[in-house]
Structure 1
Amino acid sequence: MPFVQVTQIQFKELVVDEEIKSICDGALALKASCLHPTTGQPLIKSITGGIDHSTEGRQGGMTHVFVTEFETEDDRRIYVNEDQQHRKFCEELSDMTAKISIVDFAPGVF
């Protein structure tokens, strides 16, 4: 069963555009660098992201969003709990964020 992770980010005010671009590029690069420990295949099936453009006014300060799709729940578990590239990225990201929201779901399962 596929799993989807939605990550919303609000960067700290002092973070400059070049740092934000670097983080965003790094997030997208996780697809190539986060590999299954036994198969060597990518843990991430797809990843996309961008700057918020909503006109609804309910972003709560979030400015950037990433949607990451995993083929299986196990791939998502390894990515979140074991993958060293993901952990390193999260450490870099934590110093730059004012707020972050992460929600995982299985499509169609309510």
Structure 2
Amino acid sequence: MNEKMEQSNDSVLRHVVLFKFKDGTSPEDIKKVEEAFHALPSKIPQIAGYEWGTNNSPEGLDKGFTHVFFLTFNSEEDRAIYLPHPDHKAFGAVLGPHLDDVLVMDYWTN
């Protein structure tokens, strides 16, 4: 799809991240990842909103993904600061040894 998406003035940019942990990842290591992600909004002011949760869908369609993190940015410029930010990179170092798969999607709200 090569359509250019237009955003309204009250749109926000959502950054949705889903994690699938490696088999055998300990609850303690998962907790360390959760805590490291939770710290990002206090370290990176461009994050305008943050929420997270673990999958509880009864449908069985999660493909092994257990955690979802939902960040809000006010602009693509703010996201562009977040992505290479040293604290975001440091979080990746905490996550990396335990990550089996990740799914990331960004979208402008309608």
Normalised by the size of structure 2, how large is the TM-score? 0.85
Equivalent residue number for residue 7 of structure 1: 17
Equivalent residue number for residue 56 of structure 2: 53
Q: CA–CA distance in 2 between the matches of 1:46 and 1:22? A: 21
* Conserved 8 A contact 1:7-1:102: yes
Question: Among 13, 26, 39, which residue is 1:29 paired with?
Answer: 39
Equivalent residue number for residue 76 of structure 2: 73
The CA RMSD over aligned residues, in Å, is 1.1
Q: CA–CA distance in 2 between the matches of 1:56 and 1:77? A: 35
Equivalent residue number for residue 47 of structure 2: 44
* Conserved 8 A contact 1:45-1:71: yes
Deviation at 1:2, TM superposition (A): 1.9
Deviation at 1:78, TM superposition (A): 1.0
Question: Among 3, 20, 28, which residue is 1:18 paired with?
Answer: 28
Q: CA–CA distance in 1 between the matches of 2:31 and 2:53? A: 10
Where 1:95 maps in the other structure, the secondary structure is helix
Q: Provide structure 2 residue ranges, at least 5 long, that are not aligned to the other structure.
A: 1-10
Where 1:44 maps in the other structure, the secondary structure is coil
Where 1:61 maps in the other structure, the secondary structure is coil
Q: Provide structure 1 residue ranges, at least 5 long, that are not aligned to the other structure.
A: 35-41
**Runs of 4+ off more than 2 Å:** none
Q: CA–CA distance in 2 between the matches of 1:71 and 1:29? A: 19
* Conserved 8 A contact 1:2-1:73: no
